[in-house]
Each structure stands twice: as structure tokens, then as C-alpha cells.
Structure 1
Amino acid sequence: MKWLVLLIVLVAFGRTPTESHPGAETPVVSLEGEAQGTTYHIKYVDERQRNFKKPVDSLLTEIDLCLSTYRPDSEISQFNRSDSHRFLRPYFYPVLKKSEDVYRATNGAFDPTVKPLVDAYELGKKSRDLWLPNVDSLLQYVGFQYISYDAVSVKKLKKNVRLDFNALAQGYTVDVLAVFLESKGIDRYMVEVGGEVRCRGERSPGQWWKVGIESPVRPGGLQTSVRMANRSMATSGNYRNFYRQNGEIFGHIINPKTGFSKPDALLSATVFARDAMTADAYATAFLVMGLQETQRFLSKQPDLDAYLIYKAETGSLQTMATDGIREFIR
């Protein structure tokens, strides 16, 4: 549902429904498939060896019918074409509420009303037509202050405002699937959708889940790996999905304040949080904020950890890990 830096999950996702590992008292159940324009992988320990693929796929379909901007029949698409919408499924409100929380915390660096600008960017990338002259006229429709909502419905306070949850919907999807597993009594799992990850418990006694972070200069290559348990993780980067026009480079993560994205020293932001939706949203916001503002922000946020990859003034690649995650980085 959004472009992102794909995390390299180091656990071998086999195609067999169950697999045994040394030291594991119970075989690991493995599920995988396609959803939201990407893939998903789920691993969990279950003494009953239950296969939850069918209900997982049903949940993924329901989330798409609510939050996918690529489906004209989704709830968010219906809202974008109208002035108001009464929620039909339980997924719209939590994502809208989290969007507002991160919008306010980042002083507008994260804003789900950015869709008019995202559409202009994508059209410009596809057609190669100049789209920057349209930015000023489109910015008038960007701003969370033009949205009013409660737990039942959402409405526009200004016509032509449109929502786009692609910057946090995959993280939220991971959380929904994790909560589903927990409702079935599963307390050791890894859920990954499109690179967003949530883990609980150990994979096997004494062995944590292990996840890799892609190198921004070696596509498909590994920058580092992280040991994880009882945390969520999401990565965003502007180094792959960009295009040049009239000698200028534009990234796909749009700054909702300026209407476009310009290169910054920060190449990749991996965020660690209690839930994947929070990690997903802040990873996007940090790419908008840039390196220095992100570092200042993190110094005041004890509930967030991050691993940043950036380019130094000398041109060399540098990394920074916050204190809470440093010992788990390889």
C-alpha cells in the first residue's frame, strides 16, 4: 500500500506449513502470501499446529476494503469522493486517530491529507510532465485541520481534501494480524507485511527473532541486523523511489508543508516502537523532517528508538542508533 524500504527478514521463510529448529520444543508454523501490493510472512509457535492462513487472508481483504486507496470500493476511496463517511469497519478510526497523534507530535511533518500532492507526484513521475507549478494550488487542500472525526464517522471541513493512509496502513495491518494471533493464544510470533515487522516472545528458547535492514547503497544488500522480541519495526527511505526532472531530484515521501521532497543527508530511518503502526508513521515523518530535526526529536522521545543511515558531509555513509536499540544491533 505504500512504497518503502523493504526489510530483509533473516528468518528463512520456507514454503512448508511447519518447520522444526534446534532447541525448539514446538515446530514453527509458517504462513505467507500476497496482499496490499506486496507480500506477507508470518511465523508463530503453536502447540496445536493450527493453520490460520484462511482467517489471515480474510482480515487482509477486510483491511483493504477499508484503507486501500487503490480500490475504488474501499471506505477511504468513498470518503475521498464525498464530504463525509460513516465507518463500516473497525479499521478506519484507529488509523485516523494515530495519524492525528503523529501529525501533532511532528508539527505536521506527518499528514494523511497529503494525497493531492502524492497524486500529482505520481502523475508527474509517470508522464514526465512538470508538476511543481501545481504545488501551491494543491497545498490549500493539505492540512489535518480540515478533517473532523469521532469514533463513528469522519467529515471534511473543506472540499477536495483527501486522505491517504499508505504511510502507516501496512504497519497497522501488522498490528491487526498480531492481535488476531494473540486472541488465539499465540504468544511467540513474527508478523511481517511489506517489510513492517512485529515480534513477540522468542522464536525458540534463547533465540530472538532476527531482522535485517537493507543498505541504501547496495539494493538487496544488508546494512545490519537486529535481534527483536516484543517490539515492532518499520523502515522508510527516499534513496530508491525518486525521479529527476529539469535537473532536480524528487523523492516519493512528500513534505506536506512544501509540497515536494528534496534530498537530505538522511537516507533511511528504521523506527522501533511498541506497535508497528506507530513505527511506520514515524519512519515516514523522519524522512520529511530530515537528519538534524529527527535527531533532536528522538532525544525527547523515550518511547521511540531508531537506527538512522545518513550521508556525512564527506560523502561517507554513517549510522546512528539510539540507546534503547544499540545493544541489539549486530
Structure 2
Amino acid sequence: MMHEFRAMNTTICTFGLREKERKQVEQWFAFVEKTLSRFREDSELSQLNRSNGRPFLPSNLLFQVMIEADFYYVETGGVFNPYLGHVLCGIGYDRSFETISPHFLYTRQEKHEVSRPVMIDQRMKSITLSSGVSVDLGGIAKGWSAEQMSRQLKQNGVLRGVIDAGGDIVIWGENEKGWEVYIADPFHPENDLLFLKLHREAGIATSSTMKRRWRDQNGTMFHHIIDPQIGQCSDSDLVQATVFAPDVTTAEVYAKCLLILGWENGIAWMIEKRADLGAIGVRTDGSIAIGGQLSNYSEEVHKLGQVFSNS
């Protein structure tokens, strides 16, 4: 049974959960949004972003997500960078996506270099942002929240289920027929491009430069995936990247990194960092690339009657 609702500026779907658990999921995501939204002036994340270099004492929720985000920032060598909120605001993404106005005029900013954007004191449980740094937790907050909720449900005896947080998907438990996963066509998002049948628990995340796009008053196109090396919208040969991982937070992080780095450089980099991940990329010309250990998750990928073997 499917259930869906709106939270965190996206559609959240659950599959196979009873009414009690569905309400639990809704309440959890509403709480996370209230705490971590960059677009709410009263959110705790907004308070952190206004802390102006002073130590900030966060709630346990914000503290745990910041630890997770900073861990991946370090692990990926800064390719995944949650400290680019000021860059997103500078290109017009300073409000919820559906309310972005084309009336702003983009002025290229100098790249803001800091040796370490944040200090997280585990003993004092405080966070100190460097001057000029603001945090955008975006996709990792959705993936992390879905992962945390699935773990809680498992602890409560829910043996299997699916939570899809706007394309960040966590699947747990056994399914005799396998779990069916569909990947949308980035050029025609109302259509499915690929179909897979998973034979294990997994975290899946898809990142795209096509989904959230807007223009300024000069007609310049922007999207929400920022390449931290240049401080601007990424411009690789990929328009979409999907990563399969043991957990959805890892999948979310590496899907974004793969999208930024491009297929050839990105897949080699990803395999070196995490040999247990599988990936599917869609290039700007519409061609499909498959790499990593995708066969650990699904034996075949189907596209419009074609079959790509992963064995």
C-alpha cells in the first residue's frame, strides 16, 4: 500500500507500512523540516547560519546531521560540500524552489576560500561556522532522515518497507519477487527510463541537474548542483546520476559527487573511494552508462525492451 505526502519541499512516499507507521513517518519529516529548512527564518539551521562565527549550541537532531554532513565533506575531499548556502543564495535559490522569481540579476561572486568551514566540538556539542559560510543540508537531510526513520521502524518490528524521500530511497526487508525500482527519464520526467529489480536491501539516490532549473532576468539558466571547485553550477557530461549503496545517505552523497565530476572521472573516483557502490549515469546526449558494483544490487537493467547485464 502506497502513501504520499509533502514535506521538505518534495513528495515523500512510503510503501508497505500500516497507518500507525505512516503517521510516524509524516510526523518525523515535519519535525526535520521545521528544524533543518534553509528557507524558514525560524528554523534552527537558519539560526546557525546567522551565528556569525560564534559557537552555536544545536539540538541533537541538527548536531547529528551536521556531523554526518561534515564526515562526507571530509571523506569526499570537499566534492560533497554542505557549506555552499551563500553560493545558492547568490544564484537566486534563497527561497523554496517553487517560489523562485526570475527578477533577480546574477552577478558573479569571487570564490570564497576557507581552510576549514566549520568546527564541531564533540565534547561541548557546539558548532562554529567560519565567517561567510552558510550551510545547506538539502539532499543529505532527506536521505539521512529516511535512513533514520527506517532504522526506527525496524527496531519497532517493521520487517520490511520502503521510504522514498523525493528520490532518496531506503528499502529494507525481504521481498520474494524482488524490489522493483524505476528511474525517471531526466529529459521527460513524467516517463520512466530504466527498470531494475533489486535482490537485497539498499539505499538509492538520484541527483539531476534537470529537475530544479530557473533563469535570472537576463535569461541565464541555473540549477541547484554546485561544483565547489568553481563555486558555480556544475557543467559535467552528466545530467543525472543514480547510486546504489548499503545506505541511502551514502547513495545521496555519491550521486551528487558523480554528477559534479562527470562519468569518466567520477566513476573511477567513486570506485576508489567506495568499491561497494553501483551507479547509473545519463549523459547530456541521452546515452546511459553503468559502472561500479551494480550487480551487487541488481542483475539486470531494463530500458525500453533492452537489457543491460550487470553480471
Q: How high is the TM-score relative to the length of structure 1? A: 0.79
Structure 1 residues 291-321: Cα deviation after superposition (integer angstroms, max 9, x where no partner): 222121123121222111114xxx4523223
Does the CA contact (< 8 Å) of 2:225 and 2:234 recur in 1? Answer: no
Separation in structure 2 between the aligned mates of residue 180 and residue 252 of structure 1, nearest angstrom: 31
Q: How many residues align?
A: 288
Structure 1 residues 208-252: Cα deviation after superposition (integer angstroms, max 9, x where no partner): 221111112222111111223310100001134334666865432
Structure 1 residues 269-300: Cα deviation after superposition (integer angstroms, max 9, x where no partner): 10111221111122112222222221211231
Q: Report SS of the residue matched to 1:232.
A: strand
Q: Report SS of the residue matched to 1:131.
A: coil
Identity score, percent = 25
Aligned partner of 1:166 in structure 2 is 138
* Aligned CA distance change for structure 1 residues 306 and 103 (closer, same or farther; 3 Å): same
Q: How high is the TM-score relative to the length of structure 2? A: 0.83
Computed over aligned residues only, the root mean square deviation of the Cα atoms, in angstroms, reads: 2.4
Structure 1 residue 258 displacement after superposition: 1.1
Matches within 5 A, 1:234-249: 234-243=205-214, 249=221
* Aligned CA distance change for structure 1 residues 143 and 289 (closer, same or farther; 3 Å): farther
Matches within 5 A, 1:1-330: 30-44=2-16, 51-82=20-51, 83-88=54-59, 90-122=60-92, 126-133=101-108, 135-136=109-110, 139-140=111-112, 143=114, 145-151=116-122, 152-156=125-129, 158-203=130-175, 206-228=176-198, 229-243=200-214, 249-300=221-272, 301-311=274-284, 315=285, 317-325=287-295, 327-330=299-302
Q: Report SS of the residue matched to 2:101.
A: helix
Q: Report SS of the residue matched to 1:220.
A: strand
Does the CA contact (< 8 Å) of 2:245 and 2:277 recur in 1? Answer: yes
Q: Report SS of the residue matched to 2:138.
A: coil
Aligned partner of 1:5 in structure 2 is none
Structure 1 residues 98-123: Cα deviation after superposition (integer angstroms, max 9, x where no partner): 22232223221111110000011125
Letter in structure 2 aligned against 1:225: F
Separation in structure 2 between the aligned mates of residue 178 and residue 262 of structure 1, nearest angstrom: 32
Does the CA contact (< 8 Å) of 2:14 and 2:22 recur in 1? Answer: no
Question: Which fold has the larger relative contact order, with Cα–Cα distance below 8 Å and residues 6 or more apart in sequence?
Answer: 1
Does the CA contact (< 8 Å) of 2:206 and 2:241 recur in 1? Answer: yes
* Aligned CA distance change for structure 1 residues 65 and 262 (closer, same or farther; 3 Å): closer
Structure 1 residues 66-94: Cα deviation after superposition (integer angstroms, max 9, x where no partner): 21112222211110111332122x32233
Q: Which runs of 5+ in 2 are unaligned?
A: 95-99, 303-311
Q: Which runs of 5+ in 1 are unaligned?
A: 1-18, 20-29
Does the CA contact (< 8 Å) of 2:240 and 2:282 recur in 1? Answer: yes
Q: Report SS of the residue matched to 2:177.
A: coil
Does the CA contact (< 8 Å) of 2:235 and 2:260 recur in 1? Answer: no
Separation in structure 2 between the aligned mates of residue 221 and residue 288 of structure 1, nearest angstrom: 24
Letter in structure 2 aligned against 1:95: V
* Aligned CA distance change for structure 1 residues 210 and 144 (closer, same or farther; 3 Å): farther
